[in-house]
Amino acid sequence: MDRLMIALEIMAKGMGGIFVACLVIMAAVWVMSKLSGRNK
């Protein structure tokens, strides 16, 4: 049961981490697109 709780914790933190990473990259792409648009 302890190992399952650890696995569930890894699931929660892992999915959270992936979403955070993707959101940060998404925001960076959005900023880059605005900057490159401004440079045109």
Partner 1 sequence: MEYLVEGIMAVTWQQIVMYAVGIALIWLAIKKEYEPSLLLPMGFGAILVNLPNSGVINQMMSGVGEVNGVVQWLFEVGIEAAEAMPVLLFIGIGAMIDFGPLLSQPVMFLFGAAAQFGIFFAICVATLMGFDLKDAASIGIIGAADGPTSILVSQVLHSNYIGPIAVAAYSYMALVPIVQPFAIKLVTTKKERTIHMEYQPGSVSKTMRIAFPIVVTIIVGFIAPSSVALVGFLMFGNLLRECGVLKTMSDTAQNELANLITLLLGITISFSMRADAFVNVDTIMIMVIGLLAFVFDTIGGVVFAKIVNLFRKNKLNPMIGAAGISAFPMSSRVVQKLAAQEEPGNIILMHAAGANVSGQIASVIAGGIVINLVTRFL
Binding positions for partner 1, rule: CB under 8 A: 3-4, 6-8, 10-11, 13-15, 17-26, 28-30, 32-33, 36-37, 39-40
Count Cβ atoms below 10 Å from residue 8 Cβ, excluding itself: 10
In angstroms, the CA 4 to CA 23 distance is 28
For the bound state, the minimum distance from the C-beta of residue 38 to partner 1, rounded and expressed in Å, comes to: 11
Q: How far is the CB of 15 from partner 1 (least distance, A)?
A: 6
CA distance 8 to 33: 37
